[in-house]
Amino acid sequence: MEQTQYSPIIIAIDGFSSSGKSTMARRLAATVGYRYLDTGAMYRAVTLYALDHGLFLPDNTPDTSAIIAALPSIHIDFAVQPDGTQHTLLNGKDVEAEIRRLRVSEAVSPIAAIAEVRHAMVAKQQELGRDKGIVVDGRDIGTVVFPDAELKIYVDASAETRARRRFKEMVEKGAAVNYEEVLANVVHRDHIDSTRAESPLRRADDAIALDNSEMTLEEQDAWLLEQFRRAAGL
Q: Which residues in this chain contact ligand DC in the complex, by CB under 6 A? A: 17, 39-40, 43-44, 108-109, 112, 138-140, 189, 193
Residue 9 to residues 12, 16, 66, 129, Cα–Cα distance (Å)? 10, 23, 38, 10
Decide if 49 contacts 93 (C-beta within 8 A).
no
CB of 111 to ligand DC, least distance (A): 8
Residues 6+ apart with CB under 8 A from 204: 12, 14, 142, 143, 147, 152, 154
Q: Between residues 27 and 189, which has the closer beta carbon with respect to ligand DC?
A: 189
CB of 223 to ligand DC, least distance (A): 21
- In whole angstroms, what is the distance from residue 35 CA to residue 133 CA? 6
CB of 138 to ligand DC, least distance (A): 2
- In whole angstroms, what is the distance from residue 23 CA to residue 29 CA? 10
Q: Between residues 52 and 226, which has the closer beta carbon with respect to ligand DC?
A: 52
CB of 233 to ligand DC, least distance (A): 27
Q: Between residues 7 and 61, which has the closer beta carbon with respect to ligand DC?
A: 61
Phi then psi for 179, rounded to 5 degrees?
Answer: -60, -45
Q: Between residues 9 and 99, which has the closer beta carbon with respect to ligand DC?
A: 99
Amino acid at 152: K
Q: Between residues 9 and 122, which has the closer beta carbon with respect to ligand DC?
A: 122
Q: Between residues 192 and 231, which has the closer beta carbon with respect to ligand DC?
A: 192
Decide if 51 contacts 99 (C-beta within 8 A).
no
CB of 229 to ligand DC, least distance (A): 26
Decide if 182 contacts 167 (C-beta within 8 A).
yes
CB of 23 to ligand DC, least distance (A): 11
Closest listed residue to residue 9, CA positions, set 111, 124, 110, 136: 136
Based on C-alpha coordinates, what's the Rg of the chain? 18
